[in-house]
Amino acid sequence: MQNKIKGVYLVTDRSLCLHHTLEEVVRLSATGGVSLVQLREKETSSREFLELAIHLKHILTPFQIPLLINDRVDICLASGADGVHLGQTDQPWFEARKLLGEKAIIGLSIETKEDWENLQKEHPNPNLDYLAVSPVFDTKTKTNTKPAWGLAGVRWLRENTTLPIVAIGGIHLDNAKEVIEAGANSLAVVSAICSANDPKEATIALKNMF
């Protein structure tokens, strides 16, 4: 699945969907050529999270765009989503791999160089589909993160791994090209699409940076 990890990666946030419903944002980004969609729901109940996941999977299936679930392996399994995105404090990725199988897309956030070094010590060849360098720039959508990596951090990780790199945090049209040139295979964006007047056009504009 690693070849799927390229281009524009939408991370959802209902509170930032200013002009359209979340479902409409996802549908419009799909028509604009988004590569992946991650459903991130921090405040909702498990039941509502599951219902939303099933609904988004239904929207994305005709476009053959994978749906990833943030943090929750159980929601991924129950909804038939294509994989999970895991943080450093979530269920260990290798346990998620056992539960979800080889075909699932599993990505892991790397927030510090220490996170990377620990991963290398324990799993020199991790069975992951991508690493998310987080955050590249400071961002209001993720307030509990470690210091920003910057472009130098993206370059450093690119030199140290052959896995696809997803860059997230403060990425928008004005800095997208620099992040790609630093070595990111995919750009994960939240407000750049969720808050756009036209999520389809916003997706196309970002996609054209590659």
Numbered residues of the known binding site: 38-42, 70-71, 90, 109, 139-142, 170, 190-191
* ∠ CA 42-128-3, rounded to 5°: 100
Binding residues for Mg(2+): 71, 90
Residues in the chain: 210
Tell the residue number behind the tokens 């109940």, with chain if given: 45
Between strands 7-11 and 165-168, the pairing is: unpaired
Distance CA 184, CA 7 (A): 9
3-state secondary structure of 54: helix
In 3D space, the residue among 88, 108, 186, 175 whose CA is nearest the CA of residue 139 turns out to be 175
